[in-house]
Structure formats: structure tokens, C-alpha cells
Amino acid sequence: MIAISKKFKKTLLAFTLLGAAAAHAADVELLPGGLLTATSAEQTKPGQFKKAGPWRVGVSFAGVGNSWIVQMIQEMRFTASQNKNIKDFIFTEANWQPAKQVADVEDLLTKKIDILIIGPISQATGTPLIEKAAKLGIPVVTFGAYGRAAQSTTEVWAGGRVFGQQGGEFLRRELNGKGNLWVFRGIAGVDEEQLRYEGFRKAIDGSSLKITSEVFGDWNYAKGKQLCENLVLSGQPVDGIWFSGAEMTRACIDVFKESGKALVPMTGEANNGFLRAWKESGVKSVAPTFTPGLGAAVVRASVGLLEGKPLNRSYFSMPAPITRDQLDKFYRPDLNDSYWMPTTLPEAKVVELFKR
């Protein structure tokens, strides 16, 4: 018989315990099909936040303003409605105003909520609010990836630098690393916007691609269209355009078509309206995926914690982007432009909400 050292026994035991913990955490499926990946080994303890129902769930989100957020909230509400233990689901949104988000969370804490779901406007705004809830013994599920900078119980997020980098890499390949770029950013001062931009800049770093115009379109079709019209009328040369969100891409495609200007490569997103415009226009593009199913994921994480199940400290969604050859697989001509994918909503609900 081969002798087994004490050190090896300890290592084997550690891996066995880690595997068992991971198996327990896997009992809570936040999103299907491997769409969400645990990004930390640290987990909550079994029973750590267990509480008998019915529960009162408080939500503080940064703001609304585009169809992705509207659908994400619908997925959040639908998931909550399916759980008999969620008695009160109190949703607030701060209209992208830090002072209002602070007031919203402080008000939620006075309502004796059992768990807080928060989508911070920024780390600076969110961190002290998360800390305040944690000191009261209230578990916090955060939309975002802050790591040790915040005392979240569990963090769930997507997009960020990965989103920006996927678009930047596409433009770099398509333009052979040289040319003039227009850049359409999201809402100034929002962490997610900055992270997407940083990912894009990293992707083009070291190339001969030059940013000649940079604007903030607020992830909004109307504002994006006005800004794109201004740039087209200015006559500035452009070889490719990076967008922080697909509603702005769709707007710019419309501007180019209406003005008779030849299309250039533009980055998009997994939104049905963009996929329609992509298919109809033939523009060269790629579509990073930022699933509105995150709304369902944070509710499922909240339920798991209150049921006493162990969850990982952080999760992140980073699927490969949709490419031109996959367009027909994802585009839904029977649905309207406001539909985002992939969704956690059942097909009947999707048709009810988004039928064209």
C-alpha cells in the first residue's frame, strides 16, 4: 500500500470540503444554462441568514430610462410574484440622483425589510448604504462587482469591462487596428458606464485607432439619435463607432440611413430592436450580451439566503457575444424592439409583454 502523507490528507480533505460547499451553493440556480458563473470561492454559511417567511424585500435601484432596465424590473417582479414567502416587494428607483438613493435606502431600512437588493449609482453612493444595512444584520444582494470595497452578502453582475472589451476587439479586428472612431457612452458618473468604457479603451490600446468624438447618450434612443445627427452633420470622418448600449446604436443606424450616409462598423447589444436593425441594414456589428435576467437572479439569490442556503460571495455573467452568423438564431421577428435576451420570463409572458 502506498503511504499517504499528512499534508496530502489535509489537502485532500480541503478539496473535499470545498467540493461539498460548491455543491450546496449550486443548489441555488440563479440563472440557467451556465449564464452566471461564481467568481469567488467564499460562501455564506448554511443557515446564516435563514428566516421564516413571509418576507419583506426592499429594492433600491439607481434609475430607469431605457427598455433594458424596464425589462430587468419586470423579470425581478415576476420572479418575486412566484414565491409565496415574499409578502412585500418594495421597489424604489433613484432617478440617477445619489441623494435620492440614500433617502430611498434609509426609508427601506425603517420599514423592517428582511433583505436589501441594491443597484448603486456608484460605489461611492452604494458602499455606505450597504454597510449601514449590514450593521443592522440585514443581508444585502448587490447589482455590481465591488469585491472587498463593499460589505455585500452576495454580488451579481454582468457587462462592465467585458462588455466594452468585446466591442472594442470587434472594431480593432474589423478596421485592422486603424481609423477614426466615434464613441457613444452611457450615463456620466455611473460605475457601469465607466467600466464599459475602460474595457473598450483597453481593447484598442496600442492600435492606431483614434477617438475623434466622444459623447454621452445616456443609453437612450432619443438622445443618441440627436447626438448622432449632430456628428453626421458636422462632417467629421468616421470609420467605426463604439456604443455603450444598443438603443444608441439603433438610433445611429437610423440616422445614417435617413441621411444617406454609408454605414460603418458599429457595436451593438443583445436587444431585439438592434438585431432587427442589424439584419435589415446589413451593418457590420457584434452584440455583447447583458441579460435582463439579472433581475430574476438577485431575487433568487435573496430567496436562497433567506432560506438559509449557502451562496457564493460573487457571480458574474460573461457569455460570448452574438456574431453575424448567429443573428437568425437570436432575432425574434414576432417580438417588438423592446425585448432583450436572454430572458428568464416564460414564453407566454414574453409574448404578452413584447408581441409586435
Give the model confidence (pLDDT) of 336-347 as tens digits. 999 999 999 999
Q: How many CA atoms lie within 13 A of 50 on its CB side?
A: 8
- Give the chain's mean pLDDT: 92
Paired with 119 in beta bridges are 61
* Euclidean distance between CA atoms 106 and 124, whole angstroms: 16
What would the mean pLDDT of 226-243 be, rounded to a whole number? 97
Fold of the domain built from segment(s) 161-281: Rossmann fold (3.40.50)
Least trusted range by pLDDT, from 11-15, 60-64, 92-96 = 11-15
Is the predicted pLDDT of residue 76 greater than 60, yes or no? yes
Paired with 116 in beta bridges are 58, 140
The dihedrals phi and psi of 346, each to the nearest 5 degrees, come to: -65, 155
Buried b (16+ CB within 10 A) or exposed e, 314-334: bbbbbbebbeeeeeeeebbee
pTM: 0.86
What are the strands of the beta sheet with 115-119, ordered from one edge? Answer: 37-38, 314-317, 154-158, 140-143, 115-119, 55-61, 86-93
Residue 17: exposure state from Cβ atoms within 10 A (0-12, 13-18, ≥19): exposed
Residue 96: exposure state from Cβ atoms within 10 A (0-12, 13-18, ≥19): middle
Give the model confidence (pLDDT) of 7-27 as tens digits. 434 433 443 444 444 444 457
Give the model confidence (pLDDT) of 300-335 as tens digits. 999 999 999 999 999 999 899 999 999 999 999 999
- Given a contact cutoff of 8 angstroms between Cβ atoms, the answer to whether 172 and 236 are in contact is no
Q: Where are the domains of the chain?
A: 18-158+291-319, 161-281
Domain 18-158+291-319 has CATH 3.30.460.10: no
- Given a contact cutoff of 8 angstroms between Cβ atoms, the answer to whether 196 and 163 are in contact is yes
Amino acid 18: pLDDT? 41
Cα–Cα distances in angstroms (integers) from residue 40 to residues 4, 120, 246, 343, in the given order? 30, 21, 30, 25
Is the predicted pLDDT of residue 51 greater than 50, yes or no? yes
- Map grid coordinates 464599459 to a residue: 196
- Given a contact cutoff of 8 angstroms between Cβ atoms, the answer to whether 185 and 193 are in contact is yes
